[in-house]
Amino acid sequence: MSNDRRFVLKGLAAAGLLAAMPWAQANTSAAAALADAAVADAAARVTPLVSGGALDAAFLAGVRKAMGQPTGALVNPPLQGLEAATYQQLNQLLNDDTPTLLVGLLDDAAAILVLDLVRSAGGRVLSVEQHRIGQGSAGQQWAGALGQALVAGAGAAVAAGRGQENGNAYVALRCVI
């Protein structure tokens, strides 16, 4: 038997032994349970993030309604606007060890920055959806419904605003940080 063939057979035998060892196999159900537990823990602390647009008030009202909080009150104050102070607050949340659910309705440029920060800090992006919606009463209703759906974990169920040609571009996101 040649040396090359012997190395191949040894490699196959070693790979077979490693695959049979219980510690070498990944337990995907346990990993999924841990990930679901992290999302459930984060749902206790919801932080909304908006970029200062016309639909912000309706979105924040939807988030409040989904959390069962009175008008004007949120456990974690929303992160609003696109100035440096907002990104500094977001950075503090990202470096905090407390799991937080971040739900947002942002313009597409701000969403790129936020998602990059979340991913680089080790956060988990649960959903990202692009929408185009007008500023009228239909847009206000849509933003409120989207805020409720993102907190509840059903953001994909709100698709009413995706196809309006005259609307502004928005990105809805849901992350665990």
On the question of pLDDT at 93 being above 70, the answer is yes
Residue range 102-110: average pLDDT? 90
Residue 129 is assigned to a structural domain of this protein: yes
**Burial of residue 53 (number of CB atoms within 10 Å: 0-12, 13-18, 19+):** middle
Q: Are residues 80 and 21 in the same domain?
A: no
User: Domain check: are 135 and 88 in the same one?
Assistant: yes
107-135 mean pLDDT: 88
- Quick one: 20 and 54 in the same domain? no
12-51 confidence digits (pLDDT tens): 555 554 444 444 444 444 444 444 555 555 556 888 999 8
Q: 12 with 99, same domain?
A: no
Q: Are residues 82 and 8 in the same domain?
A: no
DSSP H/E element including 24: none
Q: What is the mean pLDDT of residues 143-164?
A: 72
Confidence category of residue 3, pLDDT binned at 50, 70, 90: low
Confidence at residue 18, expressed as pLDDT on a 0 to 100 scale? 43
Contact between residue 26 and residue 16 where contact means Cβ atoms under 8 Å apart: no
**Mean pLDDT computed over 148-167:** 67
Residue 27 domain boundaries: 1-32
Better-predicted residue by pLDDT, 14 or 144: 144
pLDDT surpassing 60 at residue 154? yes
The candidate with the shortest Cα–Cα distance to 44, out of 6, 13, 75, 82, is: 75
Predicted pLDDT at 31: 40
133 belongs to a structural domain: yes
Does 47 map to a domain? yes
160: in domain? yes
Q: For the chain, what is the mean pLDDT?
A: 75
In a domain, 37, yes or no: no
pTM exceeding the 0.75 threshold for the entire prediction: no
Question: Is residue 28 located within the same domain as residue 53?
Answer: no
- Domain count within the chain: 2
Q: Are residue 51 and residue 135 in the same domain, yes or no? A: yes
pLDDT at 167 over 60: yes
